[in-house]
Amino acid sequence: MSKKKVALVVEYKGTEYKGWQAQKYDVPTVQKYLETALSKIAAHTVKVVCAGRTDASVHASAQVVHFETDAERSEKAWTLGVNSNLPKDIAVVAAANMHSSFHARFSAVSRRYRYVIYSSPLRPAIMSKEVTWTHKSLDISKMQQAAKVFVGKHDFSSFRAVGCQAHTPVRTILNFEIYQSGQYIVLDIRANAFLHHMIRNFAGVLMTIGAGEEEVSWARKVLEARDRTKGGITGPPEGLYFVDAEYPEEFKVPKVALGPHFLPYFEEPSYELPS
């Protein structure tokens, strides 16, 4: 029997996990729990590939994965059945059979993250692990001006982690929007791909500028320095969400509402897939 390829859209709260990727040591990861649950439903060992790995304490509202199976199962089995075997903070929210050429990582033409900041003099209790809290008042207009510098194709060496294993620091930022609703400030970033800690380093620079501790022009200075030591602090992981991976239309990857779902609706700019 020939194997079929199945794509899933997965949502998870990363607080209790050591990141997405399964590790050789026995530590909790999202991939480990998802593969275990899928293997029970498929009745054979399942290995998954994701669109973009996430670090410890980072969340996802629409992580895309694929796996191969020779098991005959319904969409409900890959959603409701798998969810019954998952921890409460991981859930499959969509599933679909895919063409054999589909690859969750290599077929993706862009990825999108949102970084959620909660700006308030007092720390939150209810969302303490789902947002990045700052007691400082942030000037969103300055942050928006600074973020424009990052749009386009650049060498982002100043924004990559020291241990980043990417072959090149060059990435293309397709859109960088910043929204505010009440005490939430959201960095909404879409790119062809990202470097390790890239978004959290963007957040660190923009929060510093928003707090008035550096001028708007500092963003360009950091970018052009191509030196991580010039880039200031790395933002905490708690506010970071993987919210979308985009694919050519012919693959018909399931789409879900853009998250994280506690946020108010923001007017969406018109986007085009990169060529």
* Catalytic residue numbers, as ranges: 55
Rounded distance between C-alpha atoms, residue 77 and residue 97, angstroms: 12
Give the type of residue at 197: H
Rounded distance between C-alpha atoms, residue 166 and residue 42, angstroms: 34
How many Cα atoms sit within 13 Å of 110 on the Cβ side?
19
Number of H helices, E strands in the chain: 6, 10
What lies within 8 Å, CB to CB, of 163 at 6+ separation is 196
What does the longest C-alpha to C-alpha distance in the chain come to? 63
Rounded distance between C-alpha atoms, residue 244 and residue 192, angstroms: 12
Question: Are 155 and 169 spatial neighbours (Cβ–Cβ below 8 Å)?
Answer: yes
The pair phi, psi for residue 15, each rounded to 5°, is: -55, -45
